[in-house]
């Protein structure tokens, strides 16, 4: 814990210029277990200038040098995976096995995928007599969330390093400790000083500086659509690139050709995964009208089978949500769903009966929801599912697309039908028949779910500028 109240700037752990401190709360116990420093504008600017000073030399490193650095980082991440997972479990509530295999493990997956992607990425090539060059965009400000913290850190830092960028990371102050461990990994791997910098703090202070500062060439933000709008507004005067992955209200269309038992059960479990705290969670399940009663029965059975409990309990499937504020928001939206007349078929307000403390939410399913209801339109970010009925596939598509969001969509049923339907959905990612996660597939959204793409070669593209050297060869 020696580095928890320090920042990583210019290749060293330094004392903050700010005196502000914040307790990190374990959501399973509602008790603080660590303290971090909260950065000021001066702290953020110190980190930005370190990144700016390092950019010239790091941007000129060779492909081989950057590849070797990436592989060293990957090796250390593998060695420290369980330690990082255990920390994530304590600060945001994920069950320990899931925190190790998925929450921490996805950092390993992103570095592995980026290494493979950079090996085949054409950083330079000829187009006729013109040389096309992908160059590092510059100094990147990174603002990451608490729900999948290592996922969003790794899928930004890995391509930034791979392309020769320097950076300043502001992780979520709600779950910041895994980022400190990540900084230790990069320090051990020998990242040149100033290339990677870490400053803890809140959005209105440190985040706003990263978004607005003229020495930041790109800001990469993951979080709510509301906060994303503020980031874009702050970035506009300096015309920097703004890359955003924002909110979602993803539809899950269960076709008539699907196995209803399997499809509904899988949809309920996926919605509740990570305690429902995933921006791409399939929170609107669309089933044929004639299958509504059967779907309700399956959903109730499945939700009741999901064990809510302490993260260190082997039987736990989902742990608490991350904070009191998040718990209160979810409880308020569950009440809104009831007041709006949706059928509450399982779960509901309050903690599970066997838990007296901690920010635990009951897996909750509403049925016969209409798409104009608040619970079908607002991102709840908890284990709360809305089941809506449809008559025709065309109706299902219209309902699915009737949202300001467009991050993800899900289709379950005949593969040929799903392939055709996927083209009609206004979403950046469409997953067919509970397919496995793909770290090389582009990840990002349409509409108010953001702009730009992450993962694999798509992430590499985001962190580069494109230069055309016309007349590079004689005609």
Do 100 and 216 sit in the same domain of this protein?
yes
Q: What six digits make up the tokens of 94?
A: 């994920």
**Bridge-based pairing state of the strands 251-254 and 241-245:** unpaired
- CATH number for the domain that contains residue 411: 3.40.309.10
Q: Which helix (H) or strand (E) holds 329?
A: helix 324-339
Asked if 95 and 275 count as a contact pair (C-beta separation under 8 A), the reply is no
Do 292 and 389 sit in the same domain of this protein?
yes
- 234 part of a folded domain: yes
Do 140 and 29 sit in the same domain of this protein?
yes
Helix, strand and coil in the chain, % to nearest 5: 45, 20, 35
Do 330 and 465 sit in the same domain of this protein?
no
Do 214 and 118 sit in the same domain of this protein?
yes
The pLDDT of residue 1 is 58
Do 258 and 328 sit in the same domain of this protein?
yes
pTM for the model: 0.97
- 15 part of a folded domain: yes
The pLDDT of residue 233 is 98
Angle at the Cα of 90 from the Cα atoms of 359 and 351, rounded to 5 degrees: 15
- CATH number for the domain that contains residue 21: 3.40.605.10
Name the DSSP letter for residue 237.
Answer: G
Q: pLDDT 10s digit of each residue in the chain, 475 long?
A: 578 999 999 999 999 999 999 999 999 999 999 999 999 999 999 999 999 999 999 999 999 999 999 999 999 999 999 999 999 999 999 999 999 999 999 999 999 999 999 999 999 999 999 999 999 999 999 999 999 999 999 999 999 999 999 999 999 999 999 999 999 999 999 999 999 999 999 999 999 999 999 999 999 999 999 999 999 999 999 999 999 999 999 999 999 999 999 999 999 999 999 999 999 999 999 999 999 999 999 999 999 999 999 999 999 999 999 999 999 999 999 999 999 999 999 999 999 999 999 999 999 999 999 999 999 999 999 999 999 999 999 999 999 999 999 999 999 999 999 999 999 999 999 999 989 999 999 999 999 999 999 999 999 999 999 999 999 999 7
Do 291 and 397 sit in the same domain of this protein?
yes
Do 354 and 423 sit in the same domain of this protein?
yes
Out of 155, 165, 272, 279, the active site residue is 279
In whole angstroms, what is the distance from residue 187 CA to residue 192 CA?
8
Name the DSSP letter for residue 257.
Answer: T
- 288 part of a folded domain: yes
Structural domain count of the chain:
2
The pLDDT of residue 3 is 80
Tell me if residue 279 is catalytic.
yes
- 444 part of a folded domain: no
Asked if 143 and 47 count as a contact pair (C-beta separation under 8 A), the reply is no
Do 348 and 289 sit in the same domain of this protein?
yes
Tell me if residue 245 is catalytic.
yes
Do 140 and 235 sit in the same domain of this protein?
yes
Q: Which residues pair with 364 in a beta bridge?
A: 384
In whole angstroms, what is the distance from residue 181 CA to residue 79 CA?
12
Asked if 43 and 168 count as a contact pair (C-beta separation under 8 A), the reply is no
Asked if 223 and 243 count as a contact pair (C-beta separation under 8 A), the reply is no
Phi/psi at 299 (5° precision): -65, -40
Q: How many CB atoms lie within 10 A of CB 421?
A: 21
Do 143 and 156 sit in the same domain of this protein?
yes
Out of 45, 91, 173, 245, the active site residue is 245
Q: The domain containing residue 150 runs over which residues? A: 7-246+449-469
Do 264 and 292 sit in the same domain of this protein?
yes
- 171 part of a folded domain: yes
């Amino acid at each position: 814990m020696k580095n928890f109240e320090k920042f990583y700037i210019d290749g060293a752990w330094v004392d903050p210029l700010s005196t502000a401190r914040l307790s990190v709360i374990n959501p399973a116990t509602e008790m603080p277990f660590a303290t971090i420093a909260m950065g000021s504008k001066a702290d953020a600017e110190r980190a930005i200038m370190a990144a700016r000073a390092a950019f010239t030399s790091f941007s000129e490193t060779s492909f081989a040098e950057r590849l070797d650095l990436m592989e060293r980082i990957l090796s250390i991440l593998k060695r420290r995976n369980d330690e990082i997972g255990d920390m994530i479990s304590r600060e945001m509530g994920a069950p320990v096995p899931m925190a190790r295999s998925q929450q921490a493990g996805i950092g390993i997956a992103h570095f592995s995928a980026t290494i493979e992607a950079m090996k085949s990425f054409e950083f330079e090539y000829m187009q006729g007599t013109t040389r096309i060059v992908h160059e590092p965009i510059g100094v990147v400000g990174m603002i990451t969330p608490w729900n999948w913290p290592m996922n969003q850190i790794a899928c930004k830092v890995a391509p930034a390093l791979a392309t020769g960028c320097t950076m300043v990371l502001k992780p979520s102050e709600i779950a910041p400790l895994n980022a400190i461990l990540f900084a230790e990994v990069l320090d051990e791997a020998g990242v040149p000083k100033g290339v990677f910098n870490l400053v803890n703090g809140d959005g209105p202070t440190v985040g706003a500086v990263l978004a607005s500062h003229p020495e930041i060439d790109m800001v990469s933000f993951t979080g709510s659509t509301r906060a994303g709008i503020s980031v874009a507004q702050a970035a506009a005067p300096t015309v920097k690139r703004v890359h955003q992955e924002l909110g979602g209200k993803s539809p899950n269309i269960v076709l008539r050709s699907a196995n209803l038992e399997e499809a509904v059960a899988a949809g309920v479990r996926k919605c509740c995964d990570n305690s429902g705290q995933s921006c791409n969670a399939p929170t609107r399940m669309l089933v044929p009208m004639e299958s509504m009663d059967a779907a309700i029965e399956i959903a109730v059975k499945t939700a009741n089978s999901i064990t809510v409990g302490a993260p260190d309990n082997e039987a736990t499937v989902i742990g608490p949500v991350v904070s009191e504020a998040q718990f209160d928001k979810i409880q308020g939206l569950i009440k809104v769903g009831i007041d709006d007349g949706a059928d509450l078929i399982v779960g509901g307000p309050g903690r599970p009966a066997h838990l007296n403390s901690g920010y635990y939410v009951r897996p909750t399913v509403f049925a016969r929801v209409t798409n104009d209801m608040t619970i079908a339109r607002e991102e709840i970010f908890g284990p709360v599912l809305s089941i809506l009925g449809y008559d025709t596939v065309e109706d299902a598509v219209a309902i699915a697309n009737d949202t300001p969001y467009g991050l993800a969509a899900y289709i379950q049923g005949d593969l040929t039908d799903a392939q055709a339907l996927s083209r009609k959905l206004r979403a950046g990612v469409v997953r067919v028949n509970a397919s496995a996660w793909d770290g090389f597939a582009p990840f990002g959204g349409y509409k108010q779910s953001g702009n730009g793409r992450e993962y694999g070669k798509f992430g590499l593209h985001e962190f580069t500028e494109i230069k055309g050297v016309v007349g590079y060869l004689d005609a």
